[in-house]
Chains A and B, each alone.
Chain A
Amino acid sequence: MKQLLILGAGTSGTMMSNHLRKALPKNEWNITIVDNQKTHYYQPGFLFLPFDLYQTEQLKKTVAQFIPKGVNLIQESIDRIDKDNDKVFLQNNTEIHYDILIIATGCDIAPQEIEGMQGDHWYKSIYDFYSFDGAKNLRDKLKTWKGGKLVVHICEMPIKCPVAPLEFAFLADDFFTKKQMRDKVEIIYVTPMSGAFTKPVATKELSYLLDQKNINIVSDFNIEKVDTENSKIIDYGGLEVEYDLLVTVPTNMGDDMIARSGFGDDLNYVPTDKTTLQSKVKENIFVLGDATDLPASKAGSVAHFQADILVENIKLYIAGKPLKELFDGHANCFIETGFGKALLIDFNYNQEPVRGTFPIPGIGPLKLLEETRINHLGKLAFRWIYWNMLIKGKPIPFVSSKMKQGGKLIEEI
């Protein structure tokens, strides 16, 4: 029997286990998946939890319940990959041999990367909402917070779901308005990028949102440290921003296991071919989801498109045929703008987000790059789709892995 090993049973790993158990003959291929966590979190829900819009139970299910019959789940920490001998070592010293390896260990916050961030003030006046604990503690804080300077901050790029911090600022405006204390809260959005929006069309179409919601922006801010004594963040150029409540997106990093395996870039992301999803480490190692070093968005929807393509390429690899260069960087993300509305963006490596209709060209019902109520309903429906279709590897109607040009207002340049 041949062995296919999947590392990580989050969004990507779970999807791959479901796809591959159907695609590969049971009498030829054993499939094993490893994850040390017992709980599978619906991470997009971490955005809503601080505002008490979801209950914690809606965001948690067991890892095991989504792993199909015929796939062996091992709940143990991965220590390292020995690529030269096609082996993976677990923390309990077991070793697993593989013929094909899929890395799907994602990325996580690394607040320890910024001086002063994780000290005595962590979860007292400094919070993240990129982890379950962070989002839950922040919810409790916001219940009693009296107002002041709310700084919504990104430490450095890349981060998963790059629009989530902006959505957080929009939802905070909605939250404090409804609590009738918006006049007591100053919202400041601090980003290392050159603006809240960086692509030409989005900048043109969406910049009004910041004015409308009275959100101040500080751009080109690369944080060096947090001065907790004086409640300030300080950047390398000496610029300072004061806060009463700092909601930060810490540096995102791939798992240390990647570093221990002797590959990965300075943020532990695995070098990966942009279009085939084969690793640049070794030909029998493939990567998808947040663990890659690709210039695509780190999002569940992206992992979903990658999964379809990777199944195809793994079948070709097994058959000894050339891989297909199918992944185009396709991403599709809802952006909550508050007050029951949302935007939707659909883009890839080459095509920036533009206006149009989605998923059916010319019909919709969703509108691209425009605030609508139905887009907001789409974002809420995503939780159901995630638990019931996406991670189970069921196809989502009308939505294809490769981006469609149809229905988009693409200007010729």
Chain B
Amino acid sequence: MNEKTVAGYCIRCNDQGYLTDLEQWNREIGLEIAEEENITMTDKHWEVIEYLQNQCKQGVAITIRKVGKSGVVDIKQFYQLFPNGPLKKASKIAGIPKPVSCI
């Protein structure tokens, strides 16, 4: 477990920079991580982030298919908003764990 300072807040994260405690997240932190990922956040971006956080809080495993059916964006739009690996990038900005397999 690492600690790092993002947007002036001290947060706990794993060694790939994913927050390990969603409680510590706020928009400023999300914004700074997005900048690191070269993403300029718009209202649509934040809507997706909020959707992902809600799913995570409900303990639902997040998949591309779910995002595509969320009513927030379709999969093509999700790719336009978060190019190259949208799920892992959006998860990082949202402060939720990266989707993992069993190994």
Residues of A within 8 A of B (CB): 156-158, 162-163, 192-194, 197-200, 202, 206, 219-220, 222, 224, 236-237, 266-267, 274, 295, 297, 331, 333, 335, 345, 347, 353, 413
Contacts and interface: CB of A to CB of B under 8 A. Distances in A.
A266 B66 contact: yes
B69 interface: yes
B76 interface: yes
Contact of B84 (A192, A220, A224): A220
| Chain B interface residue bracket vs A | 20 to 34
B69 A266 contact: yes
B87 to A, nearest CB: 8
Interface of B: 1, 14-15, 59, 61, 63-66, 69, 75-76, 78-79, 83-88, 98-103
Contact of B99 (A157, A202, A345): A157
Given A193-B101, A194-B88, A335-B103, 6 more contacts: A157-B63, A197-B101, A199-B102, A200-B14, A236-B78, A237-B83
Contact of B64 (A156, A158, A200, A202): A156
A345 B65 contact: no
Contacts of B76: 236
A163 B101 CA distance: 9
A280 B1 CA distance: 34
Contacts of A158: 61, 63
Nearest to A267: B65
B65 A236 contact: no
A198 B102 CA distance: 8
For the complex of A and B, list the 6 residue pairs with the smallest distance between their C-beta atoms, beginning with the closest: A220-B85, A202-B103, A198-B100, A237-B79, A236-B79, A222-B64
A113 B41 CA distance: 32
A297 B84 CA distance: 27
A295 B102 contact: no
A165 to B, nearest CB: 10
Given A200-B14, A413-B1, A331 B99 contact: no
B102 A353 contact: yes
B65 to A, nearest CB: 6
Given A194-B88, A200-B15, A237-B83, A157 B101 contact: yes
A360 to B, nearest CB: 23
Given A237-B83, A274-B59, A413-B1, A347 B102 contact: yes
A196 to B, nearest CB: 8
B100 A199 contact: yes
A225 B21 CA distance: 36
A23 B75 CA distance: 48
Given A220-B84, A236-B79, A192 B64 contact: yes
Which residue, B65, B86, B88, B101, has most C-beta atoms of chain A within 10 A? B101
B102 A194 contact: no
B61 to A, nearest CB: 5
B22 to A, nearest CB: 16
B65 A198 contact: no
A194 B69 CA distance: 22
Contact of A266 (B65, B98, B102): B65
